[in-house]
Homo-oligomer: A and B are copies of this chain.
């Protein structure tokens, strides 16, 4: 099955004709989201039916590369390429309001994150996957004792160092955009297979991957000068450094697992789950900016 990456309309496996006709129909009604997805992922030109079908078919084709590389290339294009996500642009300088927005919205992201990872454990039978996801949940939310606080705890401490109260973050209501994204991830976790959930969730970790330059990334997740800046709070450095200093090889483990277990029969399902997730992730990252703006305007 192939889904429209924008509105999740589903088409038969390999029915790129149906998908391209749907795209043309949406674009002709100037549906902004469909047009914007086509511009970025397929072509900036308005294409005819046959040509669009051919290009969409090529877009989904793995050609000689595997699903891992396909995901990486698409992710770089959408988030860290020539035309990066605005949140990435914002992170090229130290912006306390943006980081406060990050702290609040990302708290909600992480709460859903571990539920999605738990669904992967619940739905799979493989020890390597159970081990991987258990370590992931521990790292993100539980931590390993006092000496190794969780990523979530480091996030909260960053927020506090910037003037937020712990309860303010924990009891916050996520912005509507964040909520919509969370609902999508929840639905993927409930309805889809473990490998689709993994593709949907762990691909998103590429956003902070330091190694993406060799796949064409033009921007780092954040300007690494921030880590050396004397004016930057230690808690901010602790949070950002965690991802920045992670073992690069470790950052591909999930994609390697997906590549190992993917089969011809479910490749398109995996691609669809990834595309749906990446799309709402882009929107969710805008919610971090929006929340940052709210803090800025409050000052």
Chain B residue at minimum C-beta to C-beta distance from A119 = B122
Contact indicator A189/B122 (Cβ below 8 Å): yes
- Complexed CA–CA distance, A119 and B115 (Å): 9
Minimum CB distance partner of A112 in chain B = B125
> Contact mask A135-151 → B, CB, 8 Å, 1/0?
00110011000000000
Chain B CB within 8 A of A175 CB: no
Q: Which of A105-145 contact B (CB under 8 A)?
A: 111, 114-116, 118-119, 121-123, 125, 130-131, 134, 137-138, 141-142
A75-B125 Cα distance, complex, nearest whole Å: 30
0/1 interface trace, chain A 3-26, chain B, CB 8 Å (1 if under): 000000000000000000000000
Among B115, B123, B130, contact of A121 (Cβ-Cβ < 8 Å): B115
Interface hub of A118, A123, A131 (most chain B Cβ within 10 A): A118
A111 nearest CB across to chain B (Å): 7
Chain B residues near A121 (CB-CB < 8 A): 114-115, 118, 137
* CA of A138 to CA of B142, assembled, Å: 12
Q: Is the CB of A141 within 8 A of B137?
A: no
Q: Is the CB of A134 within 8 A of B137?
A: yes
Which residues of B lie under 8 Å from residue A137 when comparing CB positions?
121, 134
Given contacts A118-B118, A118-B119, A119-B118, contact A134 B138 (CB under 8 A): yes
Can you list 23 contacts pairing A with B, beta carbon distance less than 8 Å?
A111-B125, A114-B121, A114-B130, A115-B121, A115-B122, A115-B123, A116-B122, A118-B118, A118-B119, A118-B121, A118-B122, A119-B119, A119-B122, A121-B137, A122-B122, A122-B189, A130-B141, A131-B142, A134-B134, A134-B137, A134-B138, A134-B142, A138-B138
A residues sitting closer than 8 Å to B (CB atoms) are: 111, 114-116, 118-119, 121-123, 125, 130-131, 134, 137-138, 141-142, 189
6 smallest CB-CB distances across A and B, nearest first, come from: A118-B121, A118-B122, A119-B122, A118-B118, A115-B122, A134-B142
